[in-house]
Amino acid sequence: MELSQEDAFCLNVLLAAGVQAVRIDASTMTVHALTEKGEAKVKLHPNTREEAYLKLVKQTLAEHALESPEGYPVYLRRWTRMGQMRDENLAPLLKLGEPEAVVAVVHAPGLTDELARRAWWAMPTIENARRMLEKEAVARGSMGPILAEFLVEHLPFEEDVVAIMDTVRTLLWFDLVDEAAQKKLWARGKQHGAYYIGFLEQRPDRLPVTRPARCDYETQTAKLQPLIAAGNPYAEQLDRLLASRGQSFLAALEEAMERPGTHEIVSALLNSIGAYFGGIAHLQDRPCTVEEVEQRAQRLLSSGEVPAIAELVAAVPGLHGEMLAMLTLAGINEWVAYNVLRRTTAVNALLRSKLSPVFDPILAQVRLLRQLPQRA
């Protein structure tokens, strides 16, 4: 069984034109190619069953790209999706017309901006865009803005919360979205809490929606400045919380906690709290309650065992409650929700209800720092 003479001739002419990538449309029996001079295509004329004929076409492509008719070993799917393909073998894989070979290129750590351009032409999917943007060479290259724009427009159709969180993280990490796009992504958090996570992690001090500094900020910061100048991390963190950037973070945190959505979002959200207090964090590495975290914070505040905390207490004695709230939040991470999450598969509103013993004490500390009345 062989290709028709017409197809064999046209494919050979096509392959001689400096092919960079190939994709096959089985529904129209057409081979599309990206060449050094632009795009080209060959309309196939099967002389046998279409499935068998496409196999012959792929063998022809493989002989040209890999000097072997065997083509891409699709059984290596898991291996290549883990990014273990050797960099020098990437370009030929894009000439095989095999979607899984394109995925292997996309996942490869050695992916370049040029190879990303070819791979994107061959298989423009949201998953491929996300994986390619994880590579700094691509994110910083000409393909970065193109892939970012695609992801921003198509994220509303993504249902995987982990994928949403990862995408927003990547877009913000590489600064690939302008102010308008950031506000669009942030606004989606009103319906889906996964959108907030990337902002809380990557840009806690530069959120799209800002709040004014606390009303007593000017008075308190004047008292904190000598400690800040001396490098006291607790004074620096308290000043940060009372300033506009801190009040904005706390307001966003409170909003995000109203719609936790899924277990994955809850874990990331709680970890983002501890990360915000990285300079003074005393995170737990085992299951515990928020009350236990608060008890530890109380000991730190009253024992005098940490000189920097003692200095802070002496400088702003009127902010005892705020200091306790700060130290409590500095001990928060996903472990405080472990005992709740391991016993439920609930999501959305029901999950929020089950998380009340965890979230409500945290929100009380957040509202104290914002000088808001506590909820009944």
Q: Domain residues of the chain, as ranges? A: 5-66, 217-369
Contact by Cβ (8 Å): 224, 185 = no
Question: Token match 């409500």: residue?
Answer: 360
- For the chain, first and last CA: distance in Å? 79
Per-position pLDDT tens, the chain of length 376: 789 999 999 999 999 888 999 999 999 999 999 998 899 999 999 999 999 999 999 999 988 888 776 665 654 555 455 555 556 678 999 999 999 889 989 999 999 999 999 999 999 999 999 999 999 999 999 999 999 999 999 999 999 999 999 999 999 999 999 999 999 999 999 888 999 999 999 999 999 999 999 999 999 999 999 999 999 999 999 999 999 999 999 999 999 999 889 999 999 999 999 999 998 988 888 999 999 999 999 999 999 999 999 999 999 999 999 999 999 999 999 999 999 999 999 999 999 999 999 999 999 999 999 998 776 5
DSSP string, 63-109: HHHHS-TT---GGGHHHHHTT-S-GGGHHHHTTS--HHHHHHHHH-T
Residues 6+ apart with CB under 8 A from 296: 282, 331
45 SS3 class: coil
